[in-house]
Structure 1
Amino acid sequence: MEIKLSSVRVLEARDLALPQVKGLSQNRLLQHLLFWFVYVSFFGLLYGSYIDDYYNAFMVELVELPFKMALVYFNMYYLMPVYLLRKKHLEFFVYLLLLMGAIGALMQYVLMPLLIHPLICPTTCTEDNMSLYRFVRNIVNINYVVAITAVIYLLKNWYRHQQASQNLAKGKLEAELQFLKGQIHPHFLFNTLNSLYSLTLKKSDTAPEVVLKLSGLMDYMLYDAAAAKVALEKELNYIQNYLSLERIRYADRVDISYTETGRMAGLKIAPMLLLPFIENAFKHGVSTETANAWIRIDLKVQDGELVLLVENSKYENAVKQQKQDIASGIGLKNVRRRLDLLYEGQYSLEVEDEPESYAVRLELTLENE
């Protein structure tokens, strides 16, 4: 009980600490306050070092701050979204310049004589501060903060669009992968149920074993195969169960050879990725042949690299039909697309179509668990 209570206290402490850590990155008010604090501090120190009077410099910055803030937020939340982002560049720059001129005139000819000159710098402020030259300098000074905030706004807007595009692309990719995987499941189930149907017609004693193995395969497809990656050992066990079903189905009609070499533990692979190669060997290579049919499956793993070689015999009268089936088969088309999406630049796929045999060789770089 003490352990459980300690765990709860740790979780509570962690949950209380997280908002403090994430507060600045998620709180827009704090971000804005920090920006204006840094802005006033930087330009106050800069201007103060220039006139050698830091108090007056900071006081002037603080007095002018509300007007600069009004200009900045009006620009970011109205002018830029309404005109600049809609590519109305001329209207944007005209309105912005007019607004900056109005704010500059307000600060120069209202704030300076009525507030800044009499209260902040009655001795240091001179007539030169009321001149046209000073007015132009104020406009340039205002331009700094407008430019800085505009760049920040555009960068954030670009980042949001990039994130939205990436999320959209990711969503489309996941939807396509789920669609391709969903096509494989019923395709395999259809073939297996056909096998079971043929066994029940023959009243074979192996039908119950087929049902049991099929149940295990369905469990894998419904639960394990729903993940993005599964342990390689699970995928290979799934293939072995599939081969067991096919051995029951074909009995002595087909010579099936399957070998595994290498270290499989600790590696991951996309589920249902290897089966279509093996399934097509049965479907298009030996399903209608009555004698001398064979399938060879050789799987090697070395240093995280998987090499799968699947070969099957071909019978002369069905070569043309086999080529058409392979070219239009759902399984191989899907697996090629899934390889492109999941293992781009990390796989090679070679097909050898000989007069009496058909071979597929896949080399794939696997991930560690």
Structure 2
Amino acid sequence: MEVKLSAESIADARSWSLPDPRSIIRNRMLQHLSFWVCYVVFFGLLYGSYIDDYYNAFMVELVELPFKMALVYFNMYYLMPKFLLTRRYLEFFVYLLLLTGAIAGLMQYVLLPLLIHPLICPTTCTQDNLTLYRFVKNIVNINYLVAISATIVLLRNWYQHQQSARTLSQDKLEAELKFLKGQIHPHFLFNTLNSLYSLTLKKSDNAPEMVLKLSGLMDYMLYDANAAKVPLEKELNYIRNYIDLERIRYGNRVDISFTEAGTILGKTIAPMMLLPFVENAFKHGVSTETENAWVRIDIKVQDRNLSLRVENCKCGEKQDRSDREMASGIGLKNVRRRLELLYKDAYSLEIEDEPDVYAVHLELDLSDRTHED
């Protein structure tokens, strides 16, 4: 016998799937139902073993359950938000004690003699259960349940506050990082356009090449630099292009040395992290275009560690003022803050301020764990 399936039945079969366990766990109604089932089962078994009558124990728990549920939910959704969570502790405990006493009295002096004793357990539920001692014991037993449910609510409330605080902290961190990036980009662009302007004034043949290099840098800033991390190879290529622009600008007046060592493939870094150190060396070290000026840039990568050393001469009579600007300028100040936010304890930054040389030495751990957050 040949069975043919229609296209609709095949589509229905493909679209059908098992429900997501996470969505089932997050279902609030199912959570509450599971809690009460566990409560009835646990205390039914506990009291059943004590009186050696599991049937009666479970029946008593089921009959008393609606009253206990009413107290628990009234406490969770009214007393706790109105009094406990607003730190009105005395009012909370007074109202809770009065309600617990009312529920315990209702169950012991109304429910027990009129329903439980005659219909469920005429032999085990005796008049001894109507004593004041039994009443106080019932209040204590009911408060066990109230305490358990209140603890769950408090833990959930604490967790939600922690999540909210973490989200707020993350949002503030991202906003600050975006602000710092926004300051770095115009700062760099302004300096580069100044360089291009000086070339055009001199009608240099290198101006078209500089425009092309600047176009590549702008492409990186507009697209790649918006990511949380970029390949280290792209970041270093960005620095190479910047150094090429400075070579075009200064020509033979500045001795520029740039060396790289180590394997950079497969490694990532926060974008625009290294450039401010290189930029400051040119802006504050050789911007006066003094003869015999020099800049040294050395980058080494070993395993997951990056080492950057940038040195420049202190050239020109305006150098003292420039050094003060460099120590508190936008570029270096921002990159310090970005290092603190993104790499925390996974970096070291040393600045050497000698009479004739200014040097920056950065050690950076490129492991992914250092800036996952």
TM range, smaller chain: over 0.9
What SS does structure 2 have at the residue aligned with 1:352? strand
Name the CA distance, whole Å, in 1 between partners of 2:108 and 2:150. Answer: 23
How far does the alpha carbon of each residue in 1:53-96 deviate from its partner, in whole angstroms, 9 at most, with x for none?
Answer: 00000000011111101100110111111101111110000000
- Report percent identity of matched pairs: 73
Letter in 2 for 1:329: G
1:49 correspondence with 2:57: no
Name the CA distance, whole Å, in 2 between partners of 1:289 and 1:200. Answer: 17
1:154 correspondence with 2:154: yes
Give 1:327 shift: 2.2
Letter in 2 for 1:340: E
Give 1:332 shift: 0.3
TM-score, L = length of structure 2: 0.93
How far does the alpha carbon of each residue in 1:306-328 deviate from its partner, in whole angstroms, 9 at most, with x for none?
Answer: 11000001125223212221123
What SS does structure 1 have at the residue aligned with 2:160? helix
1:86 aligns with: 86
How far does the alpha carbon of each residue in 1:22-71 deviate from its partner, in whole angstroms, 9 at most, with x for none?
Answer: 12332100000000000100000000000000000000001111110110
- Greater alpha carbon shift after TM alignment, 327-336 vs 197-206: 197-206
8 Å contact from structure 1 (residues 48, 55) kept in 2: yes
1:333 aligns with: 333
How far does the alpha carbon of each residue in 1:166-196 deviate from its partner, in whole angstroms, 9 at most, with x for none?
Answer: 1111111111111111100000010111111
8 Å contact from structure 1 (residues 229, 269) kept in 2: yes
Give 1:367 shift: 2.3
1:192 correspondence with 2:196: no
- Tell me how many residue pairs correspond in the alignment: 357
Mapping of residues 1-369 of structure 1, within 5 Å: 16-17=17-18, 19-315=19-315, 317-368=317-368
2:7 aligns with: none
Name the CA distance, whole Å, in 1 between partners of 2:245 and 2:131. Answer: 95
Letter in 2 for 1:343: Y
Name the CA distance, whole Å, in 2 between partners of 1:293 and 1:90. Answer: 76
- The ranges of structure 1 where at least 4 consecutive aligned residues each deviate by more than 6 angstroms after the TM superposition are none
8 Å contact from structure 1 (residues 269, 367) kept in 2: no
TM-score, L = length of structure 1: 0.94
8 Å contact from structure 1 (residues 316, 356) kept in 2: no
Name the CA distance, whole Å, in 1 between partners of 2:270 and 2:324. Answer: 28
Name the CA distance, whole Å, in 2 between partners of 1:309 and 1:162. Answer: 41
Name the CA distance, whole Å, in 1 between partners of 2:354 and 2:348. Answer: 20
What SS does structure 2 have at the residue aligned with 1:256? strand
Name the CA distance, whole Å, in 1 between partners of 2:227 and 2:58. Answer: 59
How far does the alpha carbon of each residue in 1:207-241 deviate from its partner, in whole angstroms, 9 at most, with x for none?
Answer: 22111111111111111110111111110011001
8 Å contact from structure 1 (residues 258, 297) kept in 2: yes
8 Å contact from structure 2 (residues 72, 146) kept in 1: yes
Letter in 1 for 2:61: E
How far does the alpha carbon of each residue in 1:320-361 deviate from its partner, in whole angstroms, 9 at most, with x for none?
Answer: 212221123100000011111111111111111111111000
What SS does structure 2 have at the residue aligned with 1:289? coil
What SS does structure 2 have at the residue aligned with 1:317? coil
What SS does structure 1 have at the residue aligned with 2:219? helix
Name the CA distance, whole Å, in 2 between partners of 1:290 and 1:360. Answer: 21
Give 1:122 shift: 1.6
Give 1:20 shift: 2.6
Name the CA distance, whole Å, in 2 between partners of 1:308 and 1:25. Answer: 50
Letter in 1 for 2:174: E
8 Å contact from structure 2 (residues 229, 268) kept in 1: yes
Give 1:133 shift: 1.8
8 Å contact from structure 1 (residues 307, 363) kept in 2: yes
8 Å contact from structure 1 (residues 262, 302) kept in 2: yes
Structure 2 unmatched runs, 5+:
1-10
Name the CA distance, whole Å, in 2 between partners of 1:188 and 1:304. Answer: 28
Name the CA distance, whole Å, in 1 between partners of 2:147 and 2:328. Answer: 59
* Root mean square deviation, CA, Å: 1.5
Letter in 1 for 2:88: K
8 Å contact from structure 2 (residues 295, 310) kept in 1: yes
2:8 aligns with: none
Letter in 2 for 1:238: Y
